[in-house]
């Protein structure tokens, strides 16, 4: 088992004819993911490395049986592309695009909340990888193998760093889910942790958070009440100054809110062990799982 993406995934890539879209759709296909369609309005009938291109997401669902969409269009078109995929009946939408206006994200989030069958992961995320099964996004899949550690993270490269430390210690992953660094993520830590809790293959959950917002604090409450599997956390940004956006639109300490210290304390108060470095995080995971 794994979460969200697997051998049943039938992926449509919006923005497939762009340079990045072509590159990553092809990578996902080469990994073994069923990439069944691409969408670029006006380019229907073409193909990209053997992947058929349609004019609309609805057509890709109807003719190619797409059930998952990866959004690769530029920020100004991304909200529209997400809503189009949801309207077409796609159940899982993974938005890689970085730089979507916050008010667009808010409208999309509010609309999708009214569509309980649709799940959005991202935006501004590296995607989802279930090693050995499917890769949807830009995670460098060759670093990861199948295993029992579920990883959920707000940051891409930090996920690779922690995942690699685990891999060096012999651990693989059930799934790796990037929820993204924006202020209004479609899926929260809680949403993904719930999936890992219910996934028989996952024995330990690693969550990697960062400064800004209160998602880590909310996850701490949820874990204490609902999660029986061990959770290990890492928080980035202990030395980040107040009022400065640290790369991710959502990574900002406002006054005393959103600090790394407060997040680590909230998690530790609920019995979640927090590593001070990515290395220590992997060591704690190893200690819990036994080597």
Residues that bind another protein (CB under 8 A): 75-76, 99-104, 106-107, 109-111, 126, 138-140, 143, 153-161, 164, 181, 183-184, 208, 210-215, 218, 234, 236-241, 244-251, 255, 260, 276-279
For strand 146-153 and strand 173-178, is the pairing parallel, antiparallel, or unpaired? parallel
Closer to another protein at the Cβ: 165 or 201? 165
CB of 208 to another protein, least distance (A): 7
Count CA atoms closer than 13 A to 23's CA, side-chain side: 6
CA-to-CA dists, residue 166 to 86, 186, 287, 289, angstroms: 35, 27, 11, 11
CB of 103 to another protein, least distance (A): 5
CB of 234 to another protein, least distance (A): 8
For 23, the token pair is: 């590159």
Closer to another protein at the Cβ: 59 or 182? 182
Closer to another protein at the Cβ: 134 or 251? 251
For 109, the token pair is: 């989030």
Per the annotation, the verdict on 248 as an active-site residue is yes
Instruction: From the candidates 24, 119, 248, 263, give the one annotated as an active-site residue.
Output: 248
CB of 62 to another protein, least distance (A): 28
Closer to another protein at the Cβ: 75 or 230? 75
CB of 54 to another protein, least distance (A): 26
Closer to another protein at the Cβ: 18 or 212? 212
Q: Any idea which residues carry the catalytic annotation?
A: 248
């Amino acid at each position: 088992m794994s979460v969200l993406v697997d051998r049943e995934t039938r992926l449509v890539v919006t923005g497939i004819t762009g340079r990045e879209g072509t590159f990553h759709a092809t990578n996902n296909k080469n990994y073994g993911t069923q990439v069944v369609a691409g969408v670029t309005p006006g380019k229907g009938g073409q193909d990209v490395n053997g992947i058929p291109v349609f004019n609309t997401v609805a057509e890709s669902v109807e003719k190619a049986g797409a059930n998952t969409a990866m959004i690769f269009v530029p920020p100004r078109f991304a909200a529209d592309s997400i809503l189009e995929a949801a309207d077409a009946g796609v159940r899982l939408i993974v938005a890689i695009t970085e730089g979507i206006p916050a008010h667009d994200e808010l409208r999309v989030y509010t609309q999708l909340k009214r569509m309980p069958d649709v799940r959005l992961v991202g935006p501004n995320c590296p995607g989802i990888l279930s090693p050995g099964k499917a890769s949807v996004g830009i995670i460098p899949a060759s670093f990861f193998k199948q295993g029992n550690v579920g990883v959920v993270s707000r940051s891409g490269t930090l996920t690779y760093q922690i995942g690699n430390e685990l891999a060096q210690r012999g651990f693989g992953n059930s799934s790796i889910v990037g929820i993204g660094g924006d202020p209004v993520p479609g899926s929260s830590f809680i949403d993904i942790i719930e999936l890992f809790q219910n996934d028989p293959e996952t024995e330990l959950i690693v969550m990697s958070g960062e400064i800004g917002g209160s998602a880590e604090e909310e996850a701490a409450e949820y874990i204490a009440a609902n999660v029986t599997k061990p959770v290990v956390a890492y928080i980035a940004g202990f030395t980040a100054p107040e009022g400065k956006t640290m790369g991710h639109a959502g990574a900002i300490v406002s006054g005393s809110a959103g600090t790394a210290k407060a997040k680590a304390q909230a998690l530790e108060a609920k019995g979640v062990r927090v590593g001070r470095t990515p290395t220590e995080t992997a060591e704690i995971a190893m200690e819990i799982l036994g080597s």
